[in-house]
Structures are given as structure tokens and as C-alpha cells.
């Protein structure tokens, strides 16, 4: 198992390198630079700034300098906010984003798995159609529609929940978490239904019934484990997406998370910030995919044994 | 008084096509300690009848329409789901066909046994249940059960898995066991062991057993009473002797006749003066298990085909038999380079197979074709019969666009399919018809040599007999040379001129078919032959 993890982490290095290379090249190719303003900046100032941030070096030199610093754990200074480093900025937004992402993930898993299982137990009945239609709606509704809608209903109409802020009033985390998690809940519901339907038609479920087990025990002890495999594969990348923050949800609910940095950085041509957030996001995806794979192996004894052998 | 008395059982399935009566007025009774055989082909309703008793028919679409099933004074059909659960696995246990899929792959076998015990006896401690499970596993012949109890199903071989399945049925000490094709997925020698085990356990526990099978030979010397089912109805019943000697229903006669026990019909015998058409010399095919970051280290090698030499004469049907894992399929595939072999020399007609480059191999493939076991899996489900058959014709430029339809129609005639079905998709055909399509596909390019890998083992016996006759006819008509791979010795005897027996990647014995069957020389061949379930008639 350790070998497997080590192997996967080793292969992550070239992946990250390519991600950095592509991002680095693309942002240099994009027109404009970090110091372009609406008003033209005097040539002298521009040159000084470029010199200050070593932007006057040849591109490949800049690239290797950046890599060198990265190896030391230095993501560089932000070009837009000269007093702060990229590391600082990511680490201030990170705790909030992680918390919000965690709640959203929790919401997505609980609601998604539950409704998927309910739907799979009686396929093609009302019990199937209602949750699955809701799930379809959940996938179709973008969060910039769902968020304001929830605010309108629960915040303004029912006056039941706070509509913005983070950690300011009790319950202010509920609406953003639901808004962020809704689409994922919908995907999880559909995947759970599909996985469960497949497992429930397996011969060993018939064996379990022939043993006289109760439906609940068949569900919990025989069906869920196999039925959730597709959910687990989806949960890896989904967790990475959720935990890296969402610009829309954070803006709608005034949450001081990471999400807004992505967009701002891109608009501002804040080279180091763009690279920093991209690397962060790529790393999250790699890690969570690895976690999902480990979980899948752990769930399936046959895979587990193959893994232990090699 | 009988233990189980089933009267006028009727079960339907409601589908989009309408209602089908899967079990139509079936009645039987069974005493304590008795064995009842239910024989029929797929779709005859034999399994559904037994599943109905325990409420295991999926509903919808299934529905029990009427009848009664009195088990020990209670009508099982009138019980609700919860009350039925007290019978399932407890007083009436089941053994299913394929132990690979019927055991939960995610659960240790011990836990699956313990679960069966504890769900009917809540007061039983985990430890006591484990002891019981252990003794059940030991009773069915699992060696060092104490270690194996914590294994997962995939860590057992097929036969051992079926033993676990039997232990699971036995562990609750039921009065009745329903065994649904318990040996169908197993090799013939393993089948013999499992049948013996079931027989022993039935006697020692004084069990009542309902034995469902498509193979009359399997139940012949076990059951006291046999029902023959067709299309949901019991068409004939009686003692084994009655069934085999005085059967009155034409279907039963057909079933018995379909069991190939005879030698190859004389009119189809090949002319042994012909030249060798296929020559294989010292063929070696190994599969390597590799490890390391770049899979560069070879840790173990499976010698699937280990130095095999044989010749097949022109027009000969050459049988290759062996149990699963013996390497017979790999050899067949190596011959026509669907699998790359590592060494040896292979000649088919004028082609030196191992020396062909990619392009010339593709062109040469016209001359040799393959027929697979499962036509459902090997036909593209998104192509109509016409597309499937036309593709090779166009690919090898054997027909012009405007001739294709005529050629395909002709192929349909040859394999005995009606021309009007030409625009249908594979799923619209029955298993036998699908295998006919697969045969037509292989014949389309007018090959000289065919590798047929278990082409009839997924089929019912009566269908099997039809396909075998079709193969014989076509082989003679087209002067085909054929390598016929099968685990079923009786099929091979009926079809093949010569037979090679394979074990562990090597050939044990090659002989003229009848000579081999009458006086097998090697111990392994003798063992295989003696394991064929036979119908003993006096």
C-alpha cells in the first residue's frame, strides 16, 4: 500500500511540472501584464517595476527562477498587492474555504446518498422519480441562481436564516454550504442510484434474501459497499473542487474565502497569484484523487489483496 | 405426510410485451429426506417455480397468481414477507448456480455464514456462531477451515466456493435445500466431487432436496422423482427409470436424445489421407506478472501454453479438451495470433503465422476465423445482423456493394436463419440463433480454418444438438478445418475426428476420438472421462 502511495505521489511531480509549465506559458502569452493600468504608466516606472520583479529577464530564466523558489516553498510576492505574498493570501482565505467546502461536501454526501438509495429501492416509481427529478434540477440550476433563490426564500421570505457573512451570526454558514453542495448532491444522488441498482440486481443480493436477511440488513451489509463505488470515484475530484472555493458562492454570500482570488488574479494578470492558486488547486485534485483511489481499494477486498501483493 | 406439497402453482411476469405465465399449474410433493429433480431448459420455469415458494421472485414484474405450497402445515404462498423470512435460509435454504457471483465478494466467507445463523437465532453468540460455521465448513471439505474462514470468496477456487455456498445453506440445519444448477458453472471433475458431496450430506442429514438442473445426467442417479418442465408446465414426471426408459412426452425424448453420447456420424468422418493443414510446433505462450515502477521486473510467469505441437489435417475437426485454466483457449488464440506466442512455429495453409507482419496478418485473417463461446458478448449489440455480416465482406472486398445483400441472405440460409430477420439486432434473437449469427459471421469470408472456442457451452442441450449438427454440415460442405475447444467431452466425441487432452498448458494425450473414449491411456484422461455424469439404464 505504501509503495502504491509513494508511486502515485512520484507520478504527481511530472504532472505538477506540466501544469506549471502550461500555466506559466499561457499567462505570458496573454496580452497585458500585471502593471498595465487604465491610465498609461510611464515607461520608466514600468521598467523599474519589471526590474524589481525580474520580469525583464528572459522568460526561461524567469521560469527556472520561479521553480527554484517554489522548491523552497516560496510562491513569490503578489504583483497586485506588493505588501503581501501569495502564500499569505492563500493561507488567509484557506481556513474559511476549507470549512465551507467541508460543510458543502457533507451536505452533498448525506443528501445525495440518501436520496439515491431511496430512489434505487423502488425504481420507476414515485419514490424514484421525485428525488431524481429534484437531482436533475439541482444539476441544471447554477449556483448564481440557486444562491439568490435560497436567500429570497429562507432569508427574506421566511426570515429564518442569515443571508450573508461568515462566522458573524449563528446559522450564516447554512445557506452558502447548501448552495455550494447542491449540484454535487444531485450528482451523488444519480451516481448512488445507478450504483445501487446495479448491485441490487447482483446474484449475491438474491443469496442474501434467500438467507432470510431483513431488507435493511441487506442494504447496509451487502449492497452499500459495492453500490457506493462510483460515488467514491466521483468524491475525489468533487472534494477538490469544493475545498478550493467557489467564486460565485463566496461573492453571493460575502464569504471571505479563496474563490475570489482566482478570478481577481486572472483579471489583474497577477502572475504569481495565478500560478500559486493553480498549483494549489492541482495539488488538491491530485491528493483527493489519490485518497479516493485508496478508499476504493480499501472497500474492495480483491483489489486490496492485489495491492498488498505488489 | 409430505414435507412440502405444492399444488397448482402459477407465477406470471408482467412486462411491456404483456403477461407471460412462467410457471403454469405446477404441482409436486416431497417427503422428508427425499430428492426431487426438476429438469428443463432455460426459460422452462424450473427456477421461478422454486423461487416463488420463498417469495424470491422479483415483484414487480413477477406475481404469484395462485396455488398453494404447504410446508410443514403452513402455506408459504400466504405468508407475508416477514413471516417468510423466518423460513428462508432457516428451514429452507438455497444453493445457487454460480458461487462466484452468488457469494458477496466484499464479505469474508465466515461472516456470511455467521450472518445466516445469527439472523435466525438472535440469542446465538458470535463465538458460538463461528464455531458452528467452522464445523459446517469442515463438513463440506474445506481444509484448514480455521484459517480459511477469514478469507474472501475470490480467494477460493470455483469448486471450493461452491463448497462454501453449500456450507452456508447447511449451517442453519434446514429441512429442505433447493439447489439451483449447483454444478453447472464447474469443471466436470469438480462437478463430480460436488455431486458426491451433496449426495453424502443429503443422506447424513436426512435432507429433502429439490435439485434444479438442465442436465438429466446430473440428477439421474440422485433423485427419487423427476419433473420435466417446458414452458412453465410439467410435461412429464416419474422415477428416473420411468423417465429414461418409458418416457412418453416428445420433449423428454428430445431432451434425452440431445445428450450427445454417440460417436461422430459416419457420413461426416474426414478423409485421413489429407495433408496437414495446420501445423503447430513447440508453441509457447507465457503471461508474465510484472512489478516495479515501469513494470520492468517479472515476478512470476504463467505458462498457459507450454511447448505444444500438433497437426490438424485438412477437413478435420480436431477437438481440444481440458478443464478451465488448462490453456486450451490460449492455445486456440495463439494459433491465429489473437494472443502473441513467445516461441514456436505455426503454419495455417500457406501462412507462417508467427512471421507475418501487421498488414499481411490482416489479409491472412480471411483464411482463419474464430467462433466464441458467448455470442451475446461477442456480437456488437449496436449492429444489425446485416451490418455484422456485411462488414467482413466489404472489408476483405469479397463482394461489391450491390451484391452484399444477396451474399448476406445466402449466409442466413446457410446457418438456418430466416431472411426476414436480417435487420434485427442481436438482443432480439435467442441464444441459439445468436450463435448461428456468429457462425455466419465467421463463414462470411469463406475461411479455410475455424477456431471454435466452446461454441455450444452457453446453450441448452436441445439447441446445442442443433448447432453441433449445423457445424458438422457446414464443415463438410465447405471443407473446413476446425479446432474445436470444449470442456464438454460428450460434445467433442460427437463432433471431432481426433482429440487432444490438455492439462496445465501441456498436451496429455492425442488420439482418434473413439479410441480415446474407449481406451484412454493417460490417468488424467481416464479421470476426466470417468467424471462425465452418465445415465445408468438397465
Tens of pLDDT, residue by residue over A263-302, are 888 888 888 888 888 888 888 888 898 888 888 888 888 8
Interface test with B, best of A123, A204, A296, A302 (most B CBs within 10 A): A204
Which residue among A202, A211, A225 sits closest to B119, beta carbon to beta carbon? Answer: A211
Query: Does any CB of chain B come closer than 8 Å to the CB of residue A303?
Result: no
Where do the H-state alpha helices sit in B247-400?
250-258, 328-335, 358-364, 375-378, 385-395
How many other C-beta atoms can be found within 10 angstroms of the C-beta atom of residue B133? 24
DSSP B451-507: EEESTTTTS-HHHHHHHHHHHHHHHHHTT-EEEEEES-HHHHHHH-SEEEEEETTEE
Would you state the cell numbers that stand for residue B189, as one nine-digit string?
471433475
Would you state the cell numbers that stand for residue A35, as one nine-digit string?
502593471
Residue A309 has a pLDDT of 64
Task: Tell me the chain A residues in contact with residue B103 when contact means C-beta distances shorter than 8 Å.
Answer: 204, 207
Q: Is the model's pLDDT at A192 over the cut of 90?
A: yes
Chain-chain contact of B103 with A204 (C-beta, under 8 angstroms): yes
Q: Is the model's pLDDT at A28 over the cut of 90?
A: no
Residue B491 has a pLDDT of 87
DSSP B20-66: EEEEEEEEEEE-TT-EEEEE--TTSSHHHHHHHHTT-S-TTTEEEEE
Chain-chain contact of A212 with B155 (C-beta, under 8 angstroms): no
**Residues of chain B under the 50 pLDDT cut:** 537-538
Query: Does any CB of chain A come closer than 8 Å to the CB of residue B86?
Result: yes
Contacts of B323 (CB under 8 A, 6+ apart): B187, B188, B189, B190, B487, B503, B528
Closest B-chain CA to A309: B291
DSSP B433-447: HHHHHHHHHHHTT--
How many other C-beta atoms can be found within 10 angstroms of the C-beta atom of residue B355? 11
CA distances from A109 to A96, A194, A249, B441 (A): 20, 15, 19, 48
Query: Does any CB of chain B come closer than 8 Å to the CB of residue A302?
Result: yes
Interface test with A, best of B58, B96, B106, B179 (most A CBs within 10 A): B106
Interface test with B, best of A121, A203, A207, A297 (most B CBs within 10 A): A207
Shortest Cα distance from B480 to chain A (angstroms)?
41
Task: Tell me the chain B residues in contact with residue A212 when contact means C-beta distances shorter than 8 Å.
Answer: 85-90, 116, 119-120
The cell 485454466 sits on which residue?
Answer: B325
- 8 A C-beta contact, residue B528 and residue B501: yes
Residue B330 has a pLDDT of 92
Would you state the cell numbers that stand for residue B430, as one nine-digit string?
435467442
Chain-chain contact of B104 with A207 (C-beta, under 8 angstroms): yes
Chain-chain contact of B154 with A302 (C-beta, under 8 angstroms): yes
Least confident of A86-95, A212-221, B256-265, B522-531: B256-265
Chain-chain contact of B101 with A204 (C-beta, under 8 angstroms): yes
Whole-angstrom distance, CA of residue B283 vs CA of residue B341: 7
> Per 3-state DSSP, what percentage of chain B is helix, strand, and coil (rounded to 5)?
40, 25, 35
- Give the distance from CA B453 to its chain's centroid: 13
Contacts of B5 (CB under 8 A, 6+ apart): B29, B30, B68, B69, B70, B71
Which residue among B94, B98, B106 sits closest to A210, beta carbon to beta carbon? Answer: B94
Q: What SS3 state is found at B96?
A: coil
Angle between the N-to-C axes of helices A271-299 and A259-268, in degrees from 0 to 180, rounded to the nearest 10: 140
Which residue among A206, A217, A301 sits closest to B56, beta carbon to beta carbon? Answer: A206
**Complex ipTM, two decimals?**
0.77
Higher pLDDT, A188 or A259: A188
Shortest Cα distance from A305 to chain B (angstroms)?
9
For the beta sheet containing B351-352, the strands, ordered from the edge strand earlier in sequence to the opposite edge, are B297-313, B276-291, B343-348, B351-352
For the beta sheet containing B225-230, the strands, ordered from the edge strand earlier in sequence to the opposite edge, are B92-95, B176-180, B208-213, B35-39, B225-230, B233-238
Residue A225 has a pLDDT of 87
Tens of pLDDT, residue by residue over A35-44, are 777 677 778 8
Contacts of A304 (CB under 8 A, 6+ apart): A297, A298
Torsion of CA B40, B526, B144, B105, to 10 degrees: -40
Q: What is the pTM of this model?
A: 0.79
Half-sphere exposure of B90 (CA within 13 A, CB side): 13
Whole-angstrom distance, CA of residue B425 vs CA of residue B441: 14
Whole-angstrom distance, CA of residue B109 vs CA of residue B127: 15
CA distances from B124 to A212, B132, B137 (A): 16, 10, 18
Task: Tell me the chain B residues in contact with residue A204 when contact means C-beta distances shorter than 8 Å.
Answer: 101-105
Amino acid at each position: 500500500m505504501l509503495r502504491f502511495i509513494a508511486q502515485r505521489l512520484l507520478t504527481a511531480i511530472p504532472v505538477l511540472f506540466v501544469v506549471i509549465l502550461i500555466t506559466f506559458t499561457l499567462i505570458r502569452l496573454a496580452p497585458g501584464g500585471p502593471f498595465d493600468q487604465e491610465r498609461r504608466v510611464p515607461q520608466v516606472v514600468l521598467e523599474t517595476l519589471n526590474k524589481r520583479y525580474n520580469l525583464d529577464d528572459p522568460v526561461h530564466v524567469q521560469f527556472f527562477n520561479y521553480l527554484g523558489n517554489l522548491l523552497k516553498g516560496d510562491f513569490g510576492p503578489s504583483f497586485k498587492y506588493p505588501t503581501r505574498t501569495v502564500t499569505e493570501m492563500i493561507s488567509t482565505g484557506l481556513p474559511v474555504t476549507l470549512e465551507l467546502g467541508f460543510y458543502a461536501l457533507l451536505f452533498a454526501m448525506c443528501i445525495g446518498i440518501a436520496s439515491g438509495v431511496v430512489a434505487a429501492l423502488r425504481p420507476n416509481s414515485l419514490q424514484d422519480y421525485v428525488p431524481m427529478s429534484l437531482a436533475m434540477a439541482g444539476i441544471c440550476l447554477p449556483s448564481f441562481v440557486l444562491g439568490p433563490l435560497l436567500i429570497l426564500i429562507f432569508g427574506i421570505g421566511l426570515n429564518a436564516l442569515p443571508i450573508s457573512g461568515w462566522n458573524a451570526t449563528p446559522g450564516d454558514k447554512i445557506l452558502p454550504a447548501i448552495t455550494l453542495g447542491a449540484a454535487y448532491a444531485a450528482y451523488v444522488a444519480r451516481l448512488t442510484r445507478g450504483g445501487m441498482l446495479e448491485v441490487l440486481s447482483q446474484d449475491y443480493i438474491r443469496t442474501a434474501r434467500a438467507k432470510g436477511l431483513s431488507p435493511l440488513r441487506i442494504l447496509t451489509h451487502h449492497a452499500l459497499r459495492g453500490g457506493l463505488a462510483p460515488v467514491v470515484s466521483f468524491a475525489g475530484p468533487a472534494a477538490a473542487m469544493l475545498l478550493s472555493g467557489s467564486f460565485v458562492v463566496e461573492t453571493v454570500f460575502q464569504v471571505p474565502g479563496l474563490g475570489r482570488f482566482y478570478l481577481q488574479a486572472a483579471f489583474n494578470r497577477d502572475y504569481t497569484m495565478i500560478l500559486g492558486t493553480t498549483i494549489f488547486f492541482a495539488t488538491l485534485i491530485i491528493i483527493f484523487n489519490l485518497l479516493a483511489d485508496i478508499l476504493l481499494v480499501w472497500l474492495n477486498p480483491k483489489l486490496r489483496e492485489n495491492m498488498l501483493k505488489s | 405426510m409430505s414435507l412440502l406439497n405444492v399444488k397448482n402453482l402459477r407465477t406470471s411476469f408482467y412486462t411491456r410485451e404483456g403477461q407471460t405465465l412462467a410457471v403454469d399449474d405446477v404441482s409436486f410433493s416431497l417427503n422428508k429426506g427425499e430428492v426431487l429433480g426438476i429438469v428443463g431448459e432455460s426459460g422452462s420455469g424450473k427456477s421461478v417455480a422454486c423461487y416463488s415458494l420463498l417469495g424470491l421472485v422479483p415483484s414487480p414484474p413477477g406475481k404469484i397468481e395462485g396455488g398453494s405450497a404447504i410446508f410443514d402445515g403452513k402455506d408459504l404462498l400466504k405468508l407475508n414477507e416477514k413471516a417468510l423470512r423466518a423460513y428462508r435460509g432457516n428451514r429452507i435454504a438455497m444453493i445457487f448456480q454460480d458461487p462466484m457471483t452468488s457469494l458477496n465478494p466484499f464479505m469474508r466467507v465466515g461472516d456470511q455464514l455467521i450472518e445466516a445463523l445469527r439472523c435466525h437465532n438472535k440469542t446465538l453468540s458470535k463465538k458460538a456462531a463461528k464455531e458452528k460455521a467452522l464445523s459446517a465448513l469442515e463438513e463440506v471439505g474445506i481444509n484448514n477451515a480455521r484459517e480459511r474462514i477469514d478469507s474472501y470468496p475470490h480467494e477460493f477456487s470455483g469448486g471450493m466456493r461452491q463448497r462454501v455456498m453449500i456450507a452456508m445453506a447447511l449451517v442453519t440445519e434446514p429441512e429442505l435445500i433447493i439447489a439451483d444448477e449447483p454444478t453447472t458453472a464447474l469443471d466436470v471433475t469438480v462437478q463430480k466431487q460436488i455431486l458426491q458431496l451433496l449426495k453424502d450430506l443429503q443422506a447424513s442429514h436426512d435432507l429433502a432436496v429439490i435439485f434444479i438442473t438442465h442436465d438429466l445426467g446430473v440428477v439421474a442417479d440422485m433423485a427419487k422423482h423427476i419433473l420435466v418442465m417446458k414452458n412453465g408446465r410439467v410435461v412429464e414426471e416419474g422415477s428416473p427409470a420411468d423417465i429414461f426408459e418409458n418416457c412418453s412426452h416428445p420433449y423428454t425424448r428430445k431432451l434425452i436424445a440431445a445428450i450427445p453420447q454417440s460417436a461422430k456420424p459416419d457420413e461426416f468422418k474426414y478423409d485421413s489421407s489429407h495433408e496437414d493443414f495446420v501445423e503447430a510446433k513447440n508453441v509457447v505462450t507465457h503471461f508474465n506478472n510484472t512489478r516495479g515502477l515501469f513494470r520492468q521486473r517479472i515476478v512470476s510467469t504463467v505458462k498457459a501454453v507450454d511447448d505444444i505441437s500438433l497437426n490438424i489435417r485438412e477437413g478435420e475437426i480436431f477437438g481440444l479438451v481440458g478443464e478451465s485454466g488448462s490453456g486450451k483457449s490460449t492455445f486456440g488464440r495463439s494459433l491465429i495470433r489473437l494472443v502473441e506466442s513467445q516461441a514456436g512455429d505455426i503454419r495455417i495453409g500457406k501462412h507462417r503465422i508467427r512471421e507475418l507482419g501487421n498488414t499481411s496478418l490482416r489479409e491472412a485473417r480471411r483464411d482463419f476465423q474464430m467462433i466464441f463461446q458467448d455470442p451475446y458478448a461477442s456480437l456488437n449489440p449496436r449492429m444489425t445482423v446485416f451490418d455484422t455480416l456485411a462488414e467482413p465482406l466489404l472489408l476483405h472486398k469479397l463482394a461489391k456493394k450491390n451484391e452484399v445483400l444477396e451474399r448476406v441472405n445466402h449466409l442466413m440460409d446457410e446457418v438456418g436463419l430466416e431472411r426476414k430477420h436480417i435487420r434485427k439486432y442481436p438482443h432480439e434473437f435467442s441464444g441459439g440463433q445468436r450463435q448461428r449469427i456468429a457462425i455466419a459471421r465467421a463463414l462470411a469470408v469463406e475461411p479455410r480454418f475455424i477456431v471454435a472456442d466452446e461454441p455450444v457451452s452457453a446453450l441448452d442441450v436441445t439447441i446445442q444438438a442443433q448447432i453441433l449438427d449445423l457445424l458438422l454440415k457446414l464443415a463438410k460442405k465447405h471443407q473446413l478445418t476446425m479446432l474445436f475447444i470444449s470442456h464438454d467431452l460428450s460434445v467433442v466425441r460427437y463432433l471431432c475426428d481426433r482429440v487432444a487432452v490438455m492439462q496445465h498448458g501441456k498436451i496429455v494425450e492425442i488420439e482418434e476420438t473413439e479410441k480415446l473414449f474407449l481406451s484412454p491411456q493417460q490417468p488424467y484422461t481416464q479421470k476426466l472421462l470417468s467424471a462425465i455424469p452418465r445415465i445408468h439404464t438397465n
